[in-house]
Structure 1
Amino acid sequence: MDFLINFVIITLFISPIITLIHESGHAFFLKIFGAKVSEFTIGNGDIFWSKNNFFIKKAFFFGGRVGSKNLKILSKNQKTFFYLGGVFFNFLSALVLHILTGYEFLVFRNYVDSFIFVSYLTIVINLIPLNTIVGATDGKQLVELYRN
């Protein structure tokens, strides 16, 4: 029963927060390079709630997206920072919590430890260059950027 409760909490609460942090990293680099964020989405599927260009979709625990209509104005180096922005923000948030809590890898004492672990897992998954059912990972987009 504990496994089921932990799974639900991690899936419905921790994962969307990690996604929000990840997508904020992408949006941060768009903003500092002068590109406009045209879409900031948490989740996938039909829209559950929206305000301006911020969307929460019904499957809010599964992925996200930051889009810009003027991504073409960015240089290759700026696009690299944009694509790695989510991973950087995930790493920074996990590292800060890691230092503050004395996290021991694969030792789950509380939900903060789960947050740290899932953040590190998110980093690894996003750096693997592959296409998913919701689009290309950050790693795949980087490979395509430098392949062209």
Structure 2
Amino acid sequence: MFGLNDIPKFFLAFFLVLPIISILHEAGHVFFAWLMGGKNIKVTVGSGNILFRAGILEVRKYYFWYGLCTFDNLKRNKRFSNILIFLGGALFNAIAALIVIYWIEEKQLDPSLFTYQFTYFSMYYIFFALLPMPYPDGTYSDGKIILDLILYRGVERETIYRIHWSEEKKQWCVLDHNQNLVQAFTEEEQALAKAHEVAQNNRPSRLLNSKNGQEVEVRNYPRVPL
């Protein structure tokens, strides 16, 4: 039964153990995103205003709640590569929990409240990360995206944006996946900036440059693992 003596244990779990588990989870996504050639990798831990940034890590005010990993321009932007990236978070949590259990069984680590909470909440984190479900904000759990990828969906639903030189208008046109005009610019750099903005805000997406009669991929924006 939960009593007053358990309140410090609750704070230990909420403000120390869960953030550590969250960082390990995001590290799994980062590792496989890097392995698949991802660029501009960033990790956000928590929500609210930014407390500090250190390299690829961004820590926010409510550091004990929420986390995500962003990256783009995967060199290996295939179905299996994406499955590994979205599975990476739960995989790192599972490996970390198994290492702690092994150390305890081998008497290399004494069992304690911290180790108990770490293994317990690691399993909790893994379960809800892999449970295939949509979230109220329109995003999906890692498990939902993995299931979509296994069923040959997800990567195939990428939205394609293009920048294209229009001889008729003498302008650089940003086009959406239906070839509808988003915006036109006189300078190619302005068109590229706008195209990057709309593609990044509509992941998963690809940005192509239709230049000299050929389409060249400028960047791809995969889904964001949580």
TM-score of the alignment, normalized to the shorter chain, above 0.5: yes
The answer to whether the 8 Å contact 2:38/2:75 transfers is no
Change (3 A) 1:78 1:52: same
TM-score w.r.t. structure 2 length?
A: 0.58
Instruction: Call closer, same or farther: CA 1:52–1:97 in 2, change over 3 Å.
Output: closer
Q: Deviations over 1:12-63 (max 9, x none)?
A: 0000000000000000001111112432111122212123432111111112
Mapped partners of 1:87, 1:61: distance in 2: 18
| Paired position in structure 2 for 1:100 | 103
Q: Which letter does structure 1 place at the counterpart of 2:73?
A: N
Equivalent residue for 2:73? 70
SS at match of 2:72: coil
How far is the alpha carbon of 1:73 from its aligned partner? 4.5
Aligned to 2:90: 87
Give the direction of change, closer, same or farther, for the CA distance of 1:132–1:7 in structure 2 (3 Å limit).
Answer: farther
2:141 to 101, 118, 137: 137
Conservation of the 8 A alpha-carbon contact between 1:15 and 1:61: yes
Which of 42, 53, 56 does residue 56 from structure 2 map onto? 53
Question: Does the CA contact (< 8 Å) of 2:30 and 2:41 recur in 1?
Answer: no
User: Do the aligned residues in 2 keep the contact of 1:126 with 1:137 (CA within 8 Å)?
Assistant: yes
Unaligned runs of at least 5 residues, structure 2: 106-110, 154-226
What number of residue pairs does the alignment pair up?
143
Query: Quick one: distance in 1 between partners of 2:100 and 2:55?
Result: 31
Give the Cα separation in 1 of the matches to 2:60 and 2:136.
16
* CA RMSD after TM alignment: 1.9
AA matched with 2:49: D
- Identical-residue share of aligned pairs (%): 27
| TM-score, with length taken from structure 1 | 0.87
Q: Could you say which structure has the greater relative contact order, defined with CA pairs below 8 angstroms and 6 or more residues apart?
A: 1
Alignment-derived partner of residue 24 in structure 2: 21
Aligned residues of 1:38 and 1:69 also touching (Cα < 8 A): yes
Q: Deviations over 1:64-99 (max 9, x none)?
A: 111112248421101000000000000000001011
> Could you tell me which amino acid in structure 2 is paired with residue 141 of structure 1?
I
Instruction: Determine which structure has the larger helix proportion and give its number.
Output: 1
Structure-2 residue corresponding to 1:105: none
Q: Which has the higher strand share?
A: 2
